[in-house]
Structure formats: structure tokens, C-alpha cells
Amino acid sequence: MSSILNSLPPNLAKIVQRFQRATDPKRRYEQLIWYGQKLKEFPEADKISENKVPGCVSQVYITAALADDKVIFQGDSDSQLTKGLVGLLIEGLNELTPAEIVQLTPDFIQETGLNVSLTPSRANGFYNIFKTMQKKALECQN
């Protein structure tokens, strides 16, 4: 078990382990798409520029709200794989405190092996989504 896994929040560690078990890139993609399918319906009303993730080739939207000092994210994308990345991040980061989210680094993507399968623009999109979620988590505190 790598030290990165130990430092991750439990949900995120579980996701990373799930991807580590899927050694075949095709399985990883299927896994990713599954996370996208698990996402709750994203309200059309929230598809506004403030919720749009900058620097993504596809349309990606993220919202964050605070409930009992924990951040609850919602998200959507018009691309199946990007939606999977959104789903993965939401599953991994939901119900953490803003402080926990802000201190995370996106390095765990390497542990999943996904970074190898992702095109540069998708990998870049992943980082942009991650950074947007951190920014929104911080905004929740105010």
C-alpha cells in the first residue's frame, strides 16, 4: 500500500484501489464511465458560467454547497469520459471539509493509472476540474 493511499481520504483511497485492480485500460474507461452514470441529475439552472470549469474542451459544470461543515458537490459534463472524471472526483471529495479538500493534491490520479490512458487535454481537464472543486470548497466557507 503506497503512502499516497494512506494520506488520501477513505473514499478517494477506495476509488484509487478500484482503479489499481483494473489493470486493463478498457476496464479503467468502463469504471470511469460508471462513475459518470452514478452522478445525480444536474439542474439545468446551474449550468451557468460561474459553475463552468475553465480550460476544459468539453462543457463541465461543478457546484458546491456546505452541509454540516462538509462540502457537497454536484457536477455534469457533456462528454462521457469527462463526466466520469467529475463523478470520480465527486465520489472521492464529497462530504469532506473545505480544509481537507484544499490540502489534497491531484497526484492520486497517477496512482489510478488513469493518467496513462487519458489524452493530454483530458488529463488537463482533470486538473482543472480538481482545482475548480478546491476553489468552490473554499468559497463555501465564506
- Name the residues annotated as catalytic: 56
Q: Which residues pair with 74 in a beta bridge?
A: 63
Q: How far, CA to CA in Å, does 74 sit from each of 7, 27, 85, 113, 116?
A: 24, 25, 12, 25, 26
Residue type, 137: A
With contact defined as beta carbons under 8 Å apart, do 84 and 35 qualify?
A: yes
The dihedral over CA atoms of 28, 10, 59, 142, expressed in degrees to the nearest 10, equals -170
